[in-house]
Amino acid sequence: MKIIIPKLIKEIKVALLEWSEKLSVKVEEIDSQHKKLIKIINNLNDAWKNDFKFEEFKNVFLDLIDYTEYHFRSEEKYMEKYNYPKLEIHRKQHRAFVDRLMKLKEKCSYNKKEAYTDLLSFLSNWIVVHIMNSDREYVPYISEASKEKMEA
């Protein structure tokens, strides 16, 4: 997996994040959503590098917020379905992420370079850490719970 913490140098033409099987949670629907989130984050990075246009960046950022909220609802419903015991902890992590995203959105509205640096660094770090740690925690539990339901 290649992760590049952006220095926001416009000459760099490398994706911010690349999907890797190491990021897979082995749940096709969730993996597909994670891939889309990574794509949107890369689109944000591209909007910054390609003759930055604030409106383009803002539109991609709004897409990110909308899709992130959709993904979190979807993931939480999945956890509810299998009575995942750490759902509330996971839900709090999601809310903290959205809160931080909204604060960064406000900072970006002032069109300041450090706001974009903060945003892209935060996103690239958070998504990988969250998937590799928090999301991975529910996989064995949900796999076992789904097996038990199939056997019943």
- Got the DSSP string for 85-136? TTHHHHHHHHHHHHHHHHHHHHHHTTT-HHHHHHHHHHHHHHHHHHIIIIIH
Judge whether 72 lies within some domain.
yes
User: Is 112 within a domain?
Assistant: yes
Q: Which domain holds residue 74?
A: 40-151
| pTM beyond cutoff 0.75 | yes
In a domain, 35, yes or no: no
pLDDT level of residue 109 (50, 70, 90 thresholds): confident
CATH of the domain at 142: 1.20.120.50
Spatial contact of 45 and 6, defined as CB atoms under 8 Å apart: yes
Number of domains composing the chain: 1
Q: Residue 89: which pLDDT band, with cuts at 50, 70 and 90?
A: very high
pLDDT 10s digits, 37-47: 999 999 888 88
Task: Write the DSSP assignment of 26-47 as a string of letters.
Answer: S-HHHHHHHHHHHHHHHHHHHH
Q: What does the pLDDT look like over 10-48, one tens digit per residue? A: 433 334 689 999 999 988 999 999 999 999 999 888 887
Opening angle at CA 118, ends 34 and 39, nearest 5:
25
**Is 92 part of a structural domain of the chain?**
yes
